[in-house]
Amino acid sequence: MGGDHAPRAPIAGALLALAELPAQHHIQLIGRSAPVTAELDALLSDEFAAYAPHRSRISIVDAPDVIEMTDKPTVALRGKQQSSMVIGLRRVVEGLADGFISAGNTGAQMAASTVLLKLHPGLTRPAIGTIFPTARQPVLMLDAGANVDCSAEELVQFARIGDVYARHLLGRTSPAVGLLSIGEEAEKGNAVVKEAHQLLRKADLNFIGNIEGRDIPNGECEGSPLDVIVCDGFVGNVLLKFYESVAPMLIGMVARSAGLDADTVTRSLKHLDVDEYGGAPLLGVRGVSIISHGSSSPRALKNAIRMAVTASESGMNEEIGRRLSAAASHTA
Amino acid sequence: MGGDHAPRAPIAGALLALAELPAQHHIQLIGRSAPVTAELDALLSDEFAAYAPHRSRISIVDAPDVIEMTDKPTVALRGKQQSSMVIGLRRVVEGLADGFISAGNTGAQMAASTVLLKLHPGLTRPAIGTIFPTARQPVLMLDAGANVDCSAEELVQFARIGDVYARHLLGRTSPAVGLLSIGEEAEKGNAVVKEAHQLLRKADLNFIGNIEGRDIPNGECEGSPLDVIVCDGFVGNVLLKFYESVAPMLIGMVARSAGLDADTVTRSLKHLDVDEYGGAPLLGVRGVSIISHGSSSPRALKNAIRMAVTASESGMNEEIGRRLSAAASHTA
pLDDT score, position B331: 62
Nearest to A251 among B212, B231, B250 (CB): B250
Nearest to A146 by CA among A331, A285, A271: A285
Q: Which residues of B touch A240 (CB under 8 A)?
A: 213
From chain B, the residues in CB contact with A251 under 8 A are: 250, 254
- Among A7-16, A50-59, A90-99, A140-149, the minimum mean pLDDT is found in A140-149
Q: What pLDDT, on the 0 to 100 scale, is given for residue A2?
A: 82
Q: What is the mean pLDDT of residues A255-259?
A: 80
- Which pLDDT value is given to residue A271? 63
Task: Inspect the interface and report whether the beta carbons of B250 and A253 lie closer than 8 Å.
Answer: no
Calculate how close chain A gets to B276, using CA atoms only, in Å.
17
Q: Dihedral sign for Cα A89, A91, A97, A103, please.
A: negative
Give the gap in angstroms from C-alpha B147 to the nearest C-alpha of chain A: 9
CA B60, B64, B70, B72 dihedral sign is negative
Distance of CA A141 to the CA centre of its chain: 10
- Neighboring chain A residues of B234 at a CB cutoff of 8 Å: 181-182, 189-190, 193, 235
Closest residue of B to A192, CA-based? B149
Alpha-carbon distance of A231 to A251, in angstroms, equals: 27
CA A186 to chain B, closest CA, distance in angstroms equals 14
Residues of chain B with C-beta less than 8 angstroms from the C-beta of A268: 257-258
Note whether B265 contacts A254, CB cutoff 8 Å.
yes
Alpha helices by DSSP H, chain A: 8-20, 33-44, 73-79, 84-93, 106-117, 152-168, 191-202, 215-218, 233-258, 262-268, 298-314, 316-331
> In which order are the strands placed within the sheet that holds B280-283?
B100-102, B289-291, B280-283, B127-128
What is the residue type of A73?
Answer: P
Decide: B26 and B57 in contact? Cβ < 8 Å: yes
Sequence-separated (6 or more) residues with CB below 8 Å from residue B55: B40, B44
Provide, rounded to the nearest whole percent, the portion of chain A with pLDDT above 90.
70
Separation CA A304–CA A290 (nearest Å): 7
Residue from B250, B263, B266, B270 to probe the interface with A (highest A Cβ count within 10 Å):
B250
In terms of Cα–Cα distance, which of B256, B291, B297 is closest to B275?
Answer: B297
B62 φ, ψ to 5°?
A: -75, 130
A271 inside 8 A of chain B by CB: yes
Integer Cα distance of B311 and B89 in angstroms: 15
Please tell me if residue B129 touches chain A, with a CB cutoff of 8 Å.
no
pLDDT tens-digit map of A147-194: 889 999 999 999 999 999 999 989 999 999 999 999 888 989 999 999
Q: How far apart are CA A303 and CA A323, in angstroms?
A: 27
Provide the pLDDT confidence category of residue A85 given band limits of 50, 70 and 90: very high
pLDDT per position in chain B (332 positions), as tens?
A: 888 898 999 999 999 999 999 999 999 999 999 999 999 999 999 999 999 999 999 999 999 999 988 888 888 888 999 999 999 999 999 999 999 999 999 889 999 999 999 999 888 889 999 999 898 899 999 999 888 899 999 999 999 999 999 999 899 999 999 999 998 889 899 999 999 999 999 999 999 999 999 999 999 998 899 999 999 999 999 999 999 899 888 888 888 877 888 787 777 776 666 677 788 899 999 999 999 988 899 999 999 999 999 999 999 999 999 988 888 777 65
**CB-based contact A291:A129 (threshold 8 Å):** no
* Contacts across the A-B interface (CB distance below 8 Å): 162
pLDDT of residue B271: 63
Interface test with A, best of B74, B139, B147, B148 (most A CBs within 10 A): B148
How far apart are the CA of A292 and the nearest CA of chain B, in angstroms? 18
8 A C-beta contact, residue B108 and residue B76 = yes
Read off the pTM: 0.90
A69 in contact with chain B, both atoms CB, cutoff 8 A: no
Return left, alpha or beta for A254; rule: phi > 0 is left, psi -120 to 50 is alpha, else beta.
alpha
pLDDT digits (tens, 9 = 90+) for A174-184: 999 999 999 88
Cβ-contact A138, A225 below 8 angstroms: no
User: Measured between alpha carbons, how far is B167 from B314 in angstroms, rounded to an integer?
Assistant: 10
- Confidence band, pLDDT 50/70/90 cuts, at residue A146: confident
Q: Please give the Cα distance from B97 to B85 (Å, whole number).
A: 13
Is residue A129 within 8 Å of A283, Cβ to Cβ?
Answer: yes
Residue A45's pLDDT band (cuts 50, 70, 90)? very high
Give the separation between CA B123 and CA B237, rounded to whole angstroms: 20
Mean pLDDT on A100-109: 93
- When CB atoms are compared, the residue of B215, B218, B268 closest to A257 is B268
What is the helix (H) or strand (E) element at residue A291, kind and residue range?
Answer: strand A289-291
Neighbours of B207 (CB within 10 A): 21
Average pLDDT of the residues of chain A: 92
Q: Report angle CA B285, B287, B289 to the nearest 5 degrees.
A: 85
CB atoms within 10 A of CB B222: 10
Mean pLDDT (whole number) for A109-113: 94
Residue A60: closest CA among A19, A14, A28, A26:
A28
Non-local CB neighbours of B187 within 8 Å, separated by 6+ positions: B194
For B28, the 3-state DSSP assignment is strand
For residue B163, the cross-strand partners are: none
Tell me which DSSP letter residue B83 carries.
Answer: B
Interface test with B, best of A230, A234, A269 (most B CBs within 10 A): A234
DSSP letters spanning A19-60 = HHS-TT--EEEEE-HHHHHHHHHHHHTTTTGGGGGGGGGEEE
* Whether pLDDT at A225 is above 90: yes
Of B243, B36, B13, whose CA–CA distance to B145 is shortest?
A: B243
Instruction: Give the whole-angstrom CA distance, residue B19 versus residue A49.
Output: 71
Residue among B227, B232, B143 nearest B196 (CA)? B232
A223-247 mean pLDDT: 94
pLDDT category at A216 given cuts 50, 70, 90 is very high
Interface-testing mutation among B143, B242, B267, with chain A (most A C-beta atoms within 10 A): B242
SS3 A328: helix
User: Do the beta carbons of residue A258 and residue B265 sit within 8 Å?
Assistant: yes
Query: Coil, strand, or helix at residue B312?
Result: helix
* A222-228: average pLDDT: 94
Reduce the DSSP state of residue B300 to 3 states and report it. Answer: helix
pLDDT mean over A302-313: 95
pLDDT at res. B10: 96
Predicted pLDDT of residue A142: 96
Mean pLDDT computed over A43-55: 96
pLDDT tens digits along A259-307: 888 787 777 776 666 677 788 899 999 999 999 988 899 999 999 999 9
CA distance B159 to chain A (A): 19
